[in-house]
Amino acid sequence: MASRSHKLAVIGAAHADHVEESFALDPAIQRAQAEDDADRELGIPAILAKYWRPCLICSVSFTAGLVFGYDVTVNGASISMPAFLLYFGDMNASGPYLPSLWTSLWTAMSSLMQAIGAIIAGWISARLGRKWPACAGACLTLVGTAIQYIATARGTLLAGKMVSGLGIGCLYSIATTYAGEVAPLRLRAPIQTWLVAFVIMTQAVCLGVIRAYVPDIDESAFRFVFALQWAVGGIAVIAWAFAPESPVYLITRGKTEAARSVMRRIYGNSNETDDRLACLINDIEMEQASQEDNGSYAACFSGPHLKRTLTIALLFSLTNASGAAFLSQNIYFLITAGLEAIHAFDIGIGGFGLALLIIAASGMYLKHFTRRNVILTGLVINFVFMVIIGALYWVPGEGALWAIAVLMNVLISLTTSTLQAAAWPVAAEIPSYHLRAKSMSLGIFTQTLTSWLFIFITPYMYNVDTGNLGARTGFIYAGTTLLLGAGAFWLVPDTTGLTTPEVDAAYAAQIPPRKFQTFVANTFRIEEGKV
């Protein structure tokens, strides 16, 4: 009988001559790997019942979704509030409006600071751990909220959004790393999907709050919307203060006994927990022995890690580069195009509700379709919708506006459940152990940098005082979607059920990503009399 991990050791030795018999597996490691293999056959309800404790601890990462989701929506939708327009806007013959420059700065600079925060977090979390840097990032969002709340000038409001963005970048990049390190193998992808669901849920709640204050033209209306960021940020601070440290971080720092204590807190005090710790230590030591780099950011762009880094960057930038900025600003865009504000907000809330329903149903359709295929399908859908939205520019009447509004919000639902809910879990499963923190930081950096770029330039495409493309902006994002589809076809693997050592082996063997599942099935299949 040949074990999956024995074959991993053989492949590892082929790529690193110094892997020796020290990696011979002891019974504890074999038991842990057998447990992982058994878990692959369990459904989500059964796996949740078995691992309720680590799932509960992983839920601390969802607080990053709360903070991120609220910030994204308040940046994009608050500018559509009449009270905000009257206070911070200018006037022309048709009424109040926001200059394109400030529309872009308010919505985009938060994303730029998130990108910077993500890079800082990757460096800090590798040295100080995941727990307290995440807590510090959450605290920083509270400071940014205070600045926004008291702002009376455009520049002050911008400064507050930038401070909040820096904290969110730190918090979100660490949260995705933490979830991938703490969750059991079978729950890693679902937890990343649920993190996206928390982002969407918070966006829907935020949009509902803003909609309730649309009729109020007093400045207290938008200030109350800003103030609620203290609530979501405060939840994140408290949650991370009580969360355990990542066992992967502790092991990489040589703190084995501390890691044992944390593992028992996560999985309970049992022999199975010790087996799981032994397996994790073995996997990390195997990986470190086969690596010639020191786990720096530069290592992410060398050797086999380059393709992994590019793939992670692509997966995290899919939604932004395919038109998320256009869709997220749909309320302001539709209002300027002539749709009543209340109707625009109502359709937007319905769109987020639909997104939550589709994500909830993903547990069923992902049983029959790989995440890679879901991502490619999402890109095809996005292309078709963007072409239709662009073509509706030439259709006269209010009916065309309603059609654009419905299409944009349905597309938000579909891209969220495909390009985010399917793509981000794949990105979290691609990095190696010793580069996970920095790889995920680079992923969040790419996500926020592309968000900044497209949020900044999109108003210049559709706004009446600049590009004046209107709905024709959809054609531009149809074009970018074609490019993304080509990249996804060649770079994105299906990582469903694959362990980190298996992904390591597939990249080391230079297997085309679209063939990872076949490679792992053929290489690590456990058969009698075969090694």
pLDDT classification of 98: cutoffs 50, 70, 90: confident
pLDDT in the model for residue 444: 85
Mean pLDDT, range 136-141, rounded to an integer: 96
Mean pLDDT value across the chain: 83
531 pLDDT above the threshold of 70: no
- Structure tokens that stand for 298 in this block: 């530069």
For residues 453 and 134, is the Cβ–Cβ distance under 8 A? no
Which amino acid is present at 375?
A: I
- 115 burial class (0-12, 13-18, 19+ CB within 10 angstroms)? buried
Rounded mean pLDDT, 358-366: 68
* Number of helices (H), then strands (E), in the chain: 26, 2
Give pLDDT, residue 2: 42
Copy the structure tokens of residue 281.
């230590």
Per DSSP bridges, beta strands 90-92 and 95-97 are antiparallel
The confidence score (pLDDT) of residue 158 equals 94
* Mean pLDDT for the stretch of residues 137-147: 96
Residue 294's contacts (CB-CB under 8 Å, 6 or more residues apart) are none
Computed on alpha carbons and rounded to an integer, the radius of gyration of the chain in Å comes to 24
Highest mean pLDDT among 27-41, 97-111, 193-207, 227-241: 227-241
Q: Is 122 a residue whose pLDDT tops 50? A: yes
Question: Distance between CA atoms of 85 and 98, rounded to whole angstroms?
Answer: 7
pTM: 0.75
Q: Is residue 346 within a helix (H) or strand (E), and if so which, with residue range?
A: helix 341-365
Question: What is the spatial distance between Cα 350 and Cα 216, in angstroms, rounded to a whole number?
Answer: 22
- Give me the mean pLDDT over the 309-336 stretch: 86
Specify the range with the lowest mean pLDDT, choosing from 56-70, 75-89, 339-353: 339-353
pLDDT (mean) for 334-347: 75
Give the model's pLDDT for residue 1: 38
pLDDT tier at 186 (50, 70, 90 boundaries)? confident
Helices (H), 247-340: 247-252, 256-267, 271-289, 305-319, 325-328, 330-337
pLDDT of residue 233: 94
- Lowest mean pLDDT of 67-81, 208-222, 276-290, 436-450, name the range: 276-290
* pLDDT higher than 60, residue 21: no
User: What pLDDT sits at residue 529?
Assistant: 40
- The Cα 308–Cα 443 span in angstroms is 10
Q: For residue 133, is pLDDT > 90?
A: yes
* Confidence label for 362 from pLDDT (cuts 50, 70 and 90): low
Q: Are 63 and 175 in contact (CB under 8 A)?
A: yes
Least confident stretch, 268-272, 273-277, 438-442: 268-272
CB 88 within 8 A of CB 157: yes
Higher pLDDT, 194 or 160: 160
Q: Is the pLDDT of residue 471 over 70?
A: yes
pLDDT tens across 384-410, in order?
999 999 999 898 877 888 888 889 888
DSSP state of 293: S
On whether the CB atoms of residues 119 and 441 are closer than 8 A, the answer is yes
Burial of residue 20, with CB atoms counted within 10 A of its CB: 0-12 exposed, 13-18 middle, 19 or more buried: exposed
- Residue labelled with tokens 């200059």: 99
Reduced to 3 states, what is the DSSP secondary structure of residue 327?
Answer: helix
| 20 band by pLDDT with thresholds 50, 70 and 90 | very low
* Angstrom distance (rounded) from CA 438 to CA 52: 28
Question: Mean pLDDT: which of 137-141, 302-306, 467-471 is highest?
Answer: 137-141
pLDDT the model gives residue 292: 57
Structure tokens at 33: 């790997």
Band (184; pLDDT cuts 50, 70, 90): confident
In percent, the amount of the chain with pLDDT more than 70 equals 89
pLDDT at 201: 86
